[in-house]
Amino acid sequence: MPPSEPPPVDRTRAAQETAVPRAAAAHGPPAVPRATADAGATVAGPAAASGLPHPTAGSTPHPSPADAPVTRGFLARATLLTAVLSFAGALLGLVRDQALARMFGAGSATDAFLVAWTVPEFAATLLIEDGLAIALIPAFALALARRAQGAPGDPVRALVASTLPRLALAFAGAAALLAAFAPQVVRVLAPGLPDPALAVDCTRLTATCVLTFGLAGYCSAALRAHRRFLAPAAIYVAYNAGIITVVLTLGARWGVRAAAAGVAIGGCLMVMAQLPVLGRLLRVRPVAASTGEESGGRPVGVALLAAVLLFALCRQSQVLIERFLGSTLPSGAISHLNYAQKIAQIPMTLSLMLCTVTFPVVARALADGDTERARDRVERDLALAACMVLAGACVVVACAPQIVELLFQRGAFTAEDTASTVRVMRVYAFGLLAHTLVGALIRSYFSAGRVTWYPLGAMAVGLAVTAGIGASAVGPWGVMGIAAANAAGITVTAALLLAGMGPRSIPIRTRRVLTELTRPLAAAAVATPAGAWAAGRAGTPVPSLLAGGLTIAAVFLLLGRALGDQGCVTALASLRSVSRRLPHGRSR
């Protein structure tokens, strides 16, 4: 379903305001009406003492693009930009995995690196994706709302001055501790690893990403709250490009340690990609505010950070359970789990792009006191994300052999590795909808910047289910049992989060959401066997993948539309809109 339009406004005013989100999407200087503030005014307070960029006397004040009304076109452009760059980052991630598979296969050296890879996996979740951003974006949204309402000084610069130095110090300390205690960390993560010394070396190199990912996550949260999405969406392009470059350059000499060094360099590139944009935003002086007492904002408290980060840590601990159980299986089991998970999670990552773009919008609506607008936005996001991830899950299940063979089966990655990865990937796919719902719902719980421990409890229950099923299933079913435990645990968490929506978060209409979810599920149940049948008609991977993917797209969209699924209706309407813009459509 398309995003809701802002309320009708005067045409002259709308023309001025629409230019702001367009400029934000293009990352150019915003087109704004003439400023009415005193050009010689300066921003006092904590920002001056912190060494932040300070506007010079005589500079022209600018209203923030984050204060402009959100239009349908802006959301579409921002989502498309984020999806394209995220997809590019995911493709580079696959190229990275291909390089690792080709050079090192799925043996003990790769297993050692993947134990160290746990560090950037956790850091990305805690500090970039589901952790720090969920706590910081509402804080920045509130600071922007206070600035727009006329708070004296600049609440945004004051927020940066009060949080960034402390967080940077904490990140640096955590990175140093992790490097110092790397042997103990490896012993806990993978007690049955054949070569723990190699894993320790790699862990010490990847420990640097705690600092770099923390700074990158802070920049991403600040930029997204300001409706700047280009630089945050490009960070994984820079990150994976750094890893690939180091692996191809030094892999023959350093072995798998080159991949760990690439993680360290890629983390630095993530920060460098965003700092210039954030610096320019902080140098721009906002329109002078009206006089009056400064409204009290909600700071980023320790309790809020703890609730968010512990939830993210608990969620990412599923990986720890998988690695722990996988270390007891024959060599290569952890690698098969890793490759299968990387491919299976691509639909989930793409489906959450819309939620990434709209999360600052939801947080700003709550900061402005508009709960109904926030609720409608969340319900639309859930419907669209579910449609996208289920369509992708159909492709993952139906075309798994073709995908893995096309991406990885070369060099040291054998046909036996392909068969093992395919089996695991298909099991993982059954948890993709739940993973997507958890990723979307957790933003709703913390979008108002209030402390709640319910999500942590829900995630802990799901983690206990994962651990219990995994421990009992790894013996008879091996890696497939581990993957099934992952899907079961995250499904329990998603159900608990849906059941808890209400006074703890945005009061969505849960029954309506559940009814909407049954429609794309029914479409997926029909589209998957149809796609598998079509993929099996061709002999080579590329034609098989194309045949299966096109069949799934056609069956899923048409059946979803017939069932009244909002996501499918929106997708088909977008395809018709694009077709009309093509030359043959305009000539009729």
Q: What digits encode the pLDDT tens for the residues 192-236? A: 777 788 999 999 999 999 999 999 999 999 998 888 889 998 999
pLDDT greater than 50 at residue 292: no
The tally of CA atoms less than 13 A away on the side-chain side of residue 158 is 19
Domain ranges of the chain: 74-282, 325-522
Distance of CA 473 to the CA centre of its chain: 30
Distance of CA 513 to the CA centre of its chain: 22
The H or E element containing residue 358 is: helix 353-367
pLDDT band at residue 118 under the 50/70/90 scheme: confident
What is the spatial distance between Cα 420 and Cα 170, in angstroms, rounded to a whole number? Answer: 41
Dig out the tokens for 147 from the structure: 């600035």
The mean per-residue pLDDT over the stretch 289-297 comes to: 43
| pTM, entire model | 0.70
Higher-confidence position of 6 and 414? 414
What mean pLDDT, rounded, does the chain reach? Answer: 80
Across 301-315, 371-385, 460-474, the highest mean pLDDT is recorded for 460-474
What is the spatial distance between Cα 479 and Cα 326, in angstroms, rounded to a whole number? Answer: 7
> 576 phi and psi, to 5 degrees?
-65, -40
pLDDT greater than 70 at residue 249: yes
What is the spatial distance between Cα 281 and Cα 427, in angstroms, rounded to a whole number? Answer: 45
Which residues in 407-562 belong to E strands, given as ranges? none
What's the pLDDT at 97? 84
Virtual CA dihedral for 579, 581, 582, 588, nearest 10 degrees? 90
Tokens 């029914």 map to which residue? Answer: 522
What is the spatial distance between Cα 198 and Cα 355, in angstroms, rounded to a whole number? Answer: 39
Instruction: Specify the DSSP class assigned to residue 524.
Output: H
pLDDT greater than 90 at residue 397: yes
The tally of CA atoms less than 13 A away on the side-chain side of residue 337 is 31
Tokens 């902080």 map to which residue? Answer: 282
Counting residues of the chain whose pLDDT is more than 70, the rounded percentage is 81
What is the spatial distance between Cα 8 and Cα 393, in angstroms, rounded to a whole number? Answer: 39
Higher-confidence position of 562 and 190? 562
Q: What digits encode the pLDDT tens for the residues 41-89? A: 333 333 333 334 444 444 444 555 555 556 667 777 887 888 888 888 8
pLDDT band at residue 577 under the 50/70/90 scheme: low
CB 476 within 8 A of CB 424: no
Q: What digits encode the pLDDT tens for the residues 160-179? A: 988 999 999 999 999 999 99
What's the pLDDT at 260? 93
* Neighbour-count burial of 427, counting CB atoms closer than 10 A to its CB (0-12 exposed, 13-18 middle, 19+ buried): buried
What is the spatial distance between Cα 313 and Cα 395, in angstroms, rounded to a whole number? Answer: 30
Higher-confidence position of 462 and 377? 462
What is the spatial distance between Cα 416 and Cα 88, in angstroms, rounded to a whole number? Answer: 29
What's the pLDDT at 463? 94
What's the pLDDT at 135? 83
CA angle 123-132-274, nearest 5°? 80
Exposure string for 312-326, b = 16+ CB within 10 A, e = fewer:
bbbbbbbbbbbbbbb
* Neighbour-count burial of 49, counting CB atoms closer than 10 A to its CB (0-12 exposed, 13-18 middle, 19+ buried): exposed
Listed range (31-40, 116-125, 295-304) with the worst mean pLDDT: 31-40
pLDDT greater than 80 at residue 93: yes
The mean per-residue pLDDT over the stretch 411-432 comes to: 88
CB atoms near residue 524 (< 10 Å): 25
What's the pLDDT at 491? 95
